[in-house]
Structure formats: C-alpha cells, structure tokens
C-alpha cells in the first residue's frame, strides 16, 4: 500500500484513488477521427521520471486531482487540485 496526498482530504491509502490518465494529454475534439480517438485513449508516453497524472479520489471526496509522480520509484512529488 502507498499513501497518496489528496489536496482536499490529506494523506490517504492508494486504494481510495483511481488513475485516470495523463494530465497533460489534450483531449481531441468531438469530431476527431477514430484513429485520433484510439491514440488518445490507448497510447501513452510512458517515459521514465516525473509524470503529471490525473487521478480521482473515488472512495473519498470524489474530486479530481493531479499527481506529479515518478514512474520509476512511484514517489509522489506534488499533488494539485484539478482546475478544469
Ligand atoms: Zn479527497
């Protein structure tokens, strides 16, 4: 188990959170091609190091947040409220 910081609730078990996706990946428009939609849904950068990720605290406050997490050692470097 890992403790993740929710910017609204404070530190909580990772079991309360759900990973949504890359926080910096732009969503394609509604009239995008099937290929663009597949690229958006399935293709990931998967780079080593710090990554901005979108999460939801589904068993807690239910709010969305951005975690900056190291993909190598899973260390969370920052937690921010989602401002969209
Ligand atoms: Zn929360």
Torsion-angle region of residue 58: left (phi > 0), alpha (psi -120 to 50) or beta? alpha
**Ligand 1 centroid to residue 22 C-alpha, Å:** 19
**Ligand 1 centroid to residue 34 C-alpha, Å:** 34
| pLDDT in the model for residue 70 | 95
Q: How far is CA 51 from CA 30, 46, 64, 69, 77, in A?
A: 26, 9, 16, 5, 10
Q: What predicted TM-score, i.e. pTM, was given to this entire model? A: 0.83
**Domain coordinates of the chain in residue numbers?**
3-81
Q: How close are the terminal C-alpha atoms of the chain, in Å?
A: 29
pLDDT tens digits for 51-74?
999 999 999 999 999 999 999 999
Select 3-81's CATH number: 3.90.1150.170, 3.40.50.150, 1.10.600.10, 3.30.2270.10: 3.30.2270.10
Residues with CB under 5 A from ligand 1 (ion): 6, 8-9, 57, 60-61
Three-class SS of residue 76?
Answer: strand
**Ligand 1 centroid to residue 32 C-alpha, Å:** 33
Q: By the 8 A CB rule, do 53 and 69 touch?
A: yes
């Amino acid at each position: 188990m890992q403790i993740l910081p929710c910017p609204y609730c404070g530190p909580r078990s990772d079991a309360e959170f759900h990973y949504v996706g890359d926080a910096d990946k732009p969503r394609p428009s509604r009239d995008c091609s099937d290929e663009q939609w597949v690229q958006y849904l399935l293709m990931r950068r998967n780079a080593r190091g710090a990554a901005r990720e979108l999460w939801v605290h589904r068993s807690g406050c239910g709010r969305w947040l951005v975690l900056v997490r190291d993909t190598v050692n899973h260390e969370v470097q920052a937690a921010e409220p989602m401002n969209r």
